């Protein structure tokens, strides 16, 4: 083997090695610098995150957030006006004691007719021509001459209740379809009923609920 010993060969070799070393140093510096930059960037990002969290938790920020945050307002429920309802209560159509009570399904003896029959109302003691008033407001349903009860007025109270006034003196004071108020005079006590059991002057008074006769003494304080 032939060994070169010329100075130029060694110079070239030295330059080559120096180049390799320089390249490695530069690469190492670049990588080191890149690592430092990446580290600095990550640290800066962490500082920013921490700084933002801190800023969000400051009293000033919280106050602004609390003011600007949307808070739904609970609306107060609308007050519904309840229509005022008048008190419904029957009053006595005449002043007086009950002579003959309500019999319901029980049969009672009629002295005038001399046989037993139901007494679907009450006979209220009164005087002939004593004023008879509507026991409650309503519309006159009938004004008639009943063969047994005499002159009779029926008032529909438009709530399932009807009142019947019989043995009256006149049918001229109100007419069918008239609206009457509670306490308005509709007739007078008469002597027109042929089937009544009372011997004294009286008003025959009935109350019906949904078409069924009920005891007036359960609804009126006589």
Has residue 186 been placed in a domain? yes
Segments forming the whole domain that contains residue 143: 98-218
- 46 falls within a domain: yes
Residue 85: predicted pLDDT? 45
Is the Cβ–Cβ distance between 95 and 51 less than 8 Å? no
- Both 114 and 214 in a single domain? yes
Q: Are residues 48 and 144 in the same domain?
A: no
Q: How far apart are CA 26 and CA 9, in angstroms?
A: 26
Q: Are residues 103 and 12 in the same domain?
A: no
- Whole-number pLDDT of residue 60: 57
Residue 179 lies in a domain: yes
Q: What is the pLDDT of residue 105?
A: 77
Q: Domain with 203 in it: what CATH number?
A: 2.70.70.10
Spans in the chain with pLDDT lower than 50: 1-5, 41, 48-54, 61, 64, 67-68, 70, 73, 82-85
Instruction: Give a yes or no: residue 47 inside a domain.
Output: yes
- C-beta separation of 180 from 134 below 8 A: yes
Counting DSSP H helices and E strands in the chain, the numbers are 2, 12
User: Where does a domain end: 23, 46, 68?
Assistant: 68
Q: Is residue 154 situated within a structural domain?
A: yes
d(CA 174, CA 185): 9
Please check whether residue 30 lies inside any domain of the structure. yes
End residue of a domain, out of 28, 50, 68: 68
Question: Which residue, of 50, 68, 86, is where some domain finishes?
Answer: 68
Residue 119 pLDDT: 87
b/e burial code for range 123-154 (CB count within 10 A of at least 16 → b):
bbbbeeebebbbbbbbebbebeebeebbbbbb
Tally the domains of the chain: 2
Q: Are residues 189 and 137 in the same domain?
A: yes
pLDDT at 157: 96
What's the pTM? 0.60
The CA distance from 52 to 170, in Å, is 99
Burial of 46 (0-12, 13-18, 19+ CB in 10 A): exposed
Let me know if residue 135 belongs to a domain.
Answer: yes
Q: What is the dihedral of CA 168, 172, 176, 180, to 10 degrees?
A: -80
- Is residue 163 in a domain? yes
């Amino acid at each position: 083997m032939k060994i070169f010993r010329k100075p130029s060969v060694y110079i070239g070799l030295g330059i080559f090695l120096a180049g390799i070393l320089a390249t490695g140093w530069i690469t190492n510096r670049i990588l080191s610098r890149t690592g430092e930059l990446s580290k600095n960037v990550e640290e800066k990002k962490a500082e920013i995150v921490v700084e933002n969290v801190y800023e969000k938790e400051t009293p000033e920020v919280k106050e602004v957030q609390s003011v600007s945050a949307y808070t739904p307002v609970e609306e107060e429920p609308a007050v519904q006006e309840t229509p005022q309802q008048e008190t419904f209560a029957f009053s006595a159509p005449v002043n007086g004691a009950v002579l003959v009570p309500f019999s319901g399904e029980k049969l009672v003896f009629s002295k005038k007719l001399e046989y037993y029959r139901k007494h679907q109302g009450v006979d209220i003691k009164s005087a002939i021509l004593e004023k008879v008033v509507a026991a409650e407001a309503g519309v006159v349903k009938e004004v008639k001459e009943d063969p047994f009860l005499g002159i009779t007025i029926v008032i529909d109270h438009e709530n399932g209740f009807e009142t019947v006034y019989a043995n009256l003196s006149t049918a001229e004071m109100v007419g069918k379809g008239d609206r009457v108020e509670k306490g308005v005079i509709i007739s007078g006590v008469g002597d027109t009923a042929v089937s009544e059991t009372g011997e004294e002057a009286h008003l025959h008074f009935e109350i019906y609920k949904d078409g069924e006769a009920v005891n007036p003494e359960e609804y009126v304080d006589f």
